[in-house]
Homo-oligomer: A and B are copies of this chain.
Amino acid sequence: MARIVKDPEIRRTEIIDIAEELFLKSGYNETAVSDIVKRVGVSQGTFYYYFKSKEDILNAIIERYIYDIKMGVKAIAAKDDINAIEKIMAFFDFLNNMDQGKEKLIDYFHEDQNVHLHARFEKNVPSNIIPPFCQMIEEGVQEDLFDTKYPEMAALSIIGTTFAISHWMYDKEDRAGSTKKIMSAIFDLIERILGAEPGIFMEYAMKTEGAK
């Protein structure tokens, strides 16, 4: 085949892009390295010139997600025109709306074939978002919006709660169920964990919705 030399940075990104697309379409185990290189139009050897194993490219893909999330959260945490409650809500909004092309990332991740992606994702998210999230909580404590002695644990608890509930919802058939009740429950939990005034998150949510 005609040999095409590209800037390594571009080649690497190219391979990651295709690998990500195929992993999401068919699953990690079901995608062969040979499928990836065929689509990219390079040899098997080139793949292993850039990645030391198939597992390695999975990590590269996850790292990219994590990087995006980290940047997004940092940006929210750094804002100075909104308070801690609004930041936390903006944070959830950001996570929910992160997408990958046309479909929501979160939907992809919950498909059964992607347990591999999903597990790795959830394993790496906390260490990256806990610090800025924790900062938001500490800010809220200083503003007297929250009341907790353990901001880091509260951050972990909220992230863990979110994961658990989102899995739970996806495993249940009647997912459409009653979104409102679930929202109320989640807000209630967050308020309790943070020691915020009961109902205050819902209040803010209504306000924002009204502004749209």
Contacts and interface: CB of A to CB of B under 8 A. Distances in A.
Interface residues of A, number: 34
A186 interface: yes
Contacts of A149: 185, 188
A11 B148 CA distance: 54
A66 to B, nearest CB: 14
Identical subunits present: 2
Contacts of A52: none
Interface of A (DSSP majority class): helix
Contact of A160 (B119, B163, B182): B163
A127 B165 CA distance: 11
A154 B115 contact: no
Given A119-B119, A120-B115, A195-B192, A165 B156 contact: yes
Interface of A: 115, 118-120, 123, 126-127, 130, 148-150, 153-154, 156-157, 159-165, 167-168, 171, 182, 184-186, 188-189, 192-193, 195
